[in-house]
Amino acid sequence: DAKTTQPTSMDCAEGRAANLPCNHSTISGNEYVYWYRQIHSQGPQYIIHGLKNNETNEMASLIITEDRKSSTLILPHATLRDTAVYYCIVRVSWEWGGTSYGKLTFGQGTILTVHP
Amino acid sequence: GAVVSQHPSWVICKSGTSVKIECRSLDFQATTMFWYRQFPKQSLMLMATSNEGSKATYEQGVEKDKFLINHASLTLSTLTVTSAHPEDSSFYICSAESTGGPTSGNTIYFGEGSWLTVV
């Protein structure tokens, strides 16, 4: 699976949009971009994933560049509860037969701190 | 989103004993489950991948005889730490893969984690 590069930490004011960048310049054509976050002492929480189109759900938006070498996770209105470590991961997600053996490998992620 | 449940949330055991951690996918069937461990202030480290009905695939450096993984059904995988030692104390997290499709992709959901303390 391709590696990703994320800033070590970021700050964001409460109520503002948090834009978390991720570089994945060696991504393969069949690899998806996944975003997870982990709040202290809890299991990671799935946020969103995409292949090449921009995606939006109730939690966030994912913007993937046309060449797929980078992406941005957007939390439109950050709250104090969004303070967490955010992980960007690329992974082969689906293979014929519905079973995937692609690993979900975690890097160090970005520590996002939302302040009042 | 889909729910993955782990049990117990925390456990304390004596050195030399074995402890079992269960991981259940509550509202979907998971042919593939993953087990991770995490030490304080570190990222998650993948230990093994388990597929229903077959032997688990362990990552390099993970002792398969010490960390026994069983994936007997599409909704349950177990991790047994055998002959536990204080250095096995860690946060163990399981995850389960929910099948999407060629256009949407699969999604992996994580359990709440299990804190193991070996004394």
How much is the mean pLDDT over chain B?
Answer: 91
Q: Does A106 lie at the interface with B, CB-CB under 8 angstroms?
A: yes
Chain B CB contacts of A104 under 8 Å are 34, 46, 95, 108
The one-letter code for the residue type at B23 is C
Q: How confident is the model at residue B103 (pLDDT cuts 50, 70, 90)?
A: low
Q: Which of B32, B43, B105 sits opposite A51 (nearest CB)?
A: B105
**Contact state of A107 with B107 under an 8 Å Cβ cutoff:** no
Question: Which residues of chain A from 37 to 66 reach within 8 Å of chain B, CB to CB?
Answer: 38, 41-46, 49, 51
Nearest residue of A to residue B48, measured between CA atoms: A103
What does the alpha-carbon distance between residue A73 and residue B114 come to, in Å, rounded to a whole number? 28
Report helix, strand or coil for A59.
coil
Q: Which of A34, A41, A46 sits opposite B1 (nearest CB)?
A: A46
pLDDT, one tens digit per residue, over A60-98 is: 999 999 999 999 999 999 999 999 999 999 987 655 554
Q: How confident is the model at residue B110 (pLDDT cuts 50, 70, 90)?
A: very high
Residue A101's pLDDT is what? 56
What does the alpha-carbon distance between residue A67 and residue B39 come to, in Å, rounded to a whole number? 36
Q: CA dihedral in degrees (A113, A43, A88, B96; nearest 10)? A: -160
